[in-house]
Amino acid sequence: MASIEELVTQIRKLEDRIEDQVAEKRRQFEYTLTKGRVRFERNVRLRHRKARIRFWAFIARTRLLTVLTAPFIYAVLIGFVVLDILASLYQAICFPVYGIAKVRRRDFIVFDRHHLAYLNGLQKLNCLYCAYGNGLLAYVSEIAGRTEQYWCPIKHARTPGRMHARYPLFLDYGDADGFQDGQTALRKALAQERAEELAATDRPEK
């Protein structure tokens, strides 16, 4: 059976492979990412603008029922903002006490689709909202996952449809003999993450 350290190493290797594929897509679609800023070549931007559907043409082809659902979609933004504030306060107050590294919002909430010239204004607004909502949920899920790893890192008897990335590291359901040592090891892993984060922030920029 693989150790926690081996599983973490495997996860990081998979993340590196995903990043390699993303880099290949950047070359394919001719854009660069420099200090978080997306840059397209001029000829690519012109091609994108030609592919854009104008605002009124976009509205004209949208079903009336779809338009009528818009208030319900955007009403959820209130809950998102409240969740964002509460989750951020929670980790700011509690994670230092537990010795857990804080989750960085910018790693999960990414706004970059507004750089795509083939989207009209309404599409860009919708993309901003989707990026915030889904990014926020991923951010909160990571906060919850680190909390669960600290307090109750036990797998369920019935495998959930989808869990956070830390769930595979958790202890087997019913493993009474391995629980105490396993929980201690997982807490140490969290502490190591925090130590690495603090060391990275203290490291001078090159």
Closest among 139, 162, 163 to 153, alpha carbons compared = 163
**pLDDT higher than 70, residue 4:** no
CA distance 174 to 113: 45
**Residues 63-87: what's their mean pLDDT?**
95
Q: Which pair of tokens denotes residue 205?
A: 């920029």
Q: Whole-model pTM?
A: 0.83
**pLDDT higher than 50, residue 146:** yes
CA distance 126 to 116: 13
List the chain domain ranges.
4-202
pLDDT in tens, 18-50: 888 878 887 888 888 877 788 888 888 899 999
Which pLDDT score is estimated for 202? 67
Collapsed DSSP state (helix, strand, coil) of residue 181: helix
Fill in the DSSP letter of residue 29: T
Residue 172 near residue 178, CB atoms below 8 Å: yes
Q: What is the chain's mean pLDDT, rounded?
A: 89
**Residues 190-201: what's their mean pLDDT?**
88
Which pLDDT score is estimated for 3? 67
Q: Which residues contact 205 (CB under 8 A, 6 or more apart)?
A: none
Collapsed DSSP state (helix, strand, coil) of residue 40: strand
Q: Give the residue, 30 or 99, on which the prediction is more confident.
A: 99
Which pLDDT score is estimated for 203? 55
Residue 174's Cβ-count burial label (10 Å; 0-12, 13-18, 19+) is exposed
